[in-house]
Structure 1
Amino acid sequence: MELPLILLVLGMVVLGAIAQRVAGLGFAMLVSPFLVLALGAHQGVFLVNICGVVSSAIIVPRVWKDIDWSMFRWLCSFSVVGSVAGALLAGGLPQAPLSIVVGSTVLAALLLSLILVRANVTVTGQVPKAGAGFLSGLTNALAGVGGPAVSAYAVLARWPQRPFAATLQPFFVVTGAVTVAMKFITAPDQLPPLPGWAWIAVAVFIGGGVLIGEQVQRVVTDRHARFFVLCFAFFGAVTALVSGLRAL
């Protein structure tokens, strides 16, 4: 892989890590469409899955006291099933259809977030939790985007932002780890061909992005951070969708 492309990947990784630390989610939604355009659908989603695990693992100790472990166990129980199913489906999709899946998933998530802001509906019980967990695992494996399903559940269940954002971090670690393991087993050739130093740089840049995000969090409101993530993600999603449609 050429150096300019590696630098582009590192830049996107930093932005994603900042968004993840400030808003609790956003790494995949922000980064996935652009990495799919830069690396191709399979390699781009695979890299997003790996980076998502690393970024959330770095954040977990910093939000430990706010994690709702009961909610975490419920969501993870079903996200694992969705991750396995999604990894198997993704391995059989050609590049162009998978690019369309990524772009469509992110666009649907953006639309859903706009609708739910105005929704006056409250959900309760275990079935919505199970559905959110399964869909999150499925979309994470297919498109690298697992946050929208649980985010939608959080809005409808009136789950407070602080424990929600904290609980998502170990949830993303487990869901992403299962997805990455399945892809290593079923399609190891889809791993991006980064040199060894670049993999180390990815981890370092994610850590740096998390630290920058902690400073940004002090001066930027959640509303402004999410607005930036949504705008950037919308542009990337439309581009990935158009690219996939043209490739067909």
Structure 2
Amino acid sequence: MGQLSAGWLSIILGSIVVAALVVTFTLRSLPEWTGRVPVMLAGGIGGFFNTTSGVAAPVMVIHSRLARWDHRSFAATLQPIFMTMGAVSALSKLLMGSVEATPMEGLPELPYLFLGIVCFVVVGIYIGTRLARFVPVRWARAAAMVLAALGGAGAIVRGVFDVLA
């Protein structure tokens, strides 16, 4: 049995993300889907997308629309979610043997790198909280949709380059 290359996986996942965003954005009335099951599904799918292709944000944006998640609360929650998803993705890749844990020249040791990431997330949350006072929720929601679409499109482009290389 063959393996799907990383490039093709990025193309497929990016296409799913873009298609889902188009549907989410163009439908005037979305069904409301709240509760633990949608949260667990969004987390699982987002984690899978993040680990395989590096695009979890679009999944979370779609979930936020279906769950009627208040945008300010959603935006404030994203950074810790992405930090956790990134850590779990990196750990799963290390445990599965898809990447090696060799230190890269010029990078600090893992504990210092992790501490630096946490500090940047905290600073990002602080700055975002201050800026939220001046940015209308409608604009922020539109920006989230555009950035999510760019993430999906970026995964497609990256996949195409990987396939053609």
* TM-score bin (small chain): 0.5 to 0.7
1:185 paired to 2:95: yes
Contact 1:105/1:139 (<8 A) preserved: no
Letter in structure 2 aligned against 1:110: L
Alpha-carbon RMSD: 3.9
Partners of 2:142 and 2:105 lie apart in 1 by: 32
Partners of 1:218 and 1:95 lie apart in 2 by: 41
TM-score where L is the length of structure 1: 0.46
- Please report how far the alpha carbon of residue 210 of structure 1 lies from its aligned counterpart in structure 2 after TM superposition: 4.2
**Alignment coverage as a number of residue pairs:** 156
Equivalent of residue 196 in structure 1, options 107, 118, 143: 107
CA 174–232 in structure 1, closer or farther in 2 if over 3 Å, else same: closer
Letter in structure 2 aligned against 1:241: I
Q: Which residue of 1 aligns with 2:59?
A: 149
1:96 paired to 2:7: yes
1:161 paired to 2:74: no
TM-score where L is the length of structure 2: 0.62
Letter in structure 2 aligned against 1:104: S
* Cα displacement string for residues 178-217 of structure 1 (whole angstroms, at most 9, x for unaligned residues): 22211122222388946226x59x7466565444433432
Higher relative helix content: 1
SS at match of 2:133: helix
- Please report how far the alpha carbon of residue 170 of structure 1 lies from its aligned counterpart in structure 2 after TM superposition: 4.5
Equivalent of residue 224 in structure 1, options 114, 139, 142: 139
> Mind listing any 5+ residue stretches in structure 1 that lack a counterpart?
1-91
Equivalent of residue 40 in structure 2, options 103, 124, 130: 130
Sequence identity (%)? 36
CA 226–138 in structure 1, closer or farther in 2 if over 3 Å, else same: same
CA 107–152 in structure 1, closer or farther in 2 if over 3 Å, else same: closer
